Amino acid sequence: VQRMRSVVRRLAERLKTRLSRRRKVRRRGKLSVRRTLRKNLSTGGEPYQLVFRARRRERPEIVVLCDVSDSVRNVSRLMLQFVYTLQELYARVRSFVFVSDLGEVTHLFKNTDVGAAVDLATAGKVINLSANSNYGRALQLFHSTYLGSVTRRTTVIVIGDGRTNYNPPHAWALAEVKLKCRRLVWLCPEEKHSWGFGDSEMPLYARHCHRVETVRSLDDLAKVAAELMP
């Protein structure tokens, strides 16, 4: 547990540094030829100065759906610490956990330290953890209740193994989320060669994502996290 927290903490620092650099680069807009000419005519061109348009600041939005069922219990705590880190880094993050029901945990991660927040999110206080896994129902609930909060600025991250317990997958709900969002990313704790076997619907869900990554360990998470962040 201590190693997990230490690695997630280091990952958070790397993400903060990367995010800060990106924001500095993005701060300057495109060159304004007209304003540059006007500026330099008034000074006789000495010294020559370039004038840039003020860049419109885009505030990225992130929505995270994290499976906390028994089949991913080994990695769900790690992933929830990652979700907590996202809420520290970005102002506009909404976080959800699901098994069959879907529950929002954004408020827990805002008002509680990371250990307590993860404990509360996995203690059955928000959703029923003893229910059978039902991805289709969870996706339907998100679609019917929260789809309106997804915009062209939103990166949606789904974390889970895509095992539906043989319930209807309702991939149409995921497809409609993809149509509305900026990017839809799925982080799966199972290796690709196991997708599609048994109750796995990952090949179907993957078709409706912009990107799918296998994340089974801290090293995997560290490798993909910095690339995925807006």
- Same-domain check for residues 186 and 117: yes
Judgement on whether residues 164 and 212 belong to the same structural domain of the protein: yes
Same domain as 79, residue 176: yes
Say yes or no: 111 and 223 in one domain: yes
Same domain for 102 and 16? no
For 203, the token pair is 């090949």
- Quickly tell me which residue has 């000495």 as its tokens: 46
- 66, 48: one domain: no
Domain count, the chain: 2
Q: Can you name the residues that pair with 186 across neighbouring β-strands?
A: 158, 212
* 121 and 29 part of one domain: no
Do 88 and 12 contact (CB within 8 A), yes or no? yes
Mean pLDDT by 10 residues, the chain (230 residues): 61 62 53 64 58 56 92 83 81 91 92 86 89 96 96 94 97 98 94 96 97 87 72
* Residues present in the chain in total: 230
Range of the domain at 7: 2-54
Helices then strands, each counted (H, E), the chain: 9, 8
Do residues 79 and 2 lie in contact, with contact meaning Cβ atoms separated by under 8 Å? no
Q: Quick one: pLDDT at residue 26? A: 47
**CATH number of the domain to which 204 belongs:** 3.40.50.410
Dihedral angle of Cα 130, 173, 183, 9, to the nearest 10 degrees: -10
Q: Are residues 109 and 49 in the same domain?
A: no
Do residues 179 and 156 lie in contact, with contact meaning Cβ atoms separated by under 8 Å? no
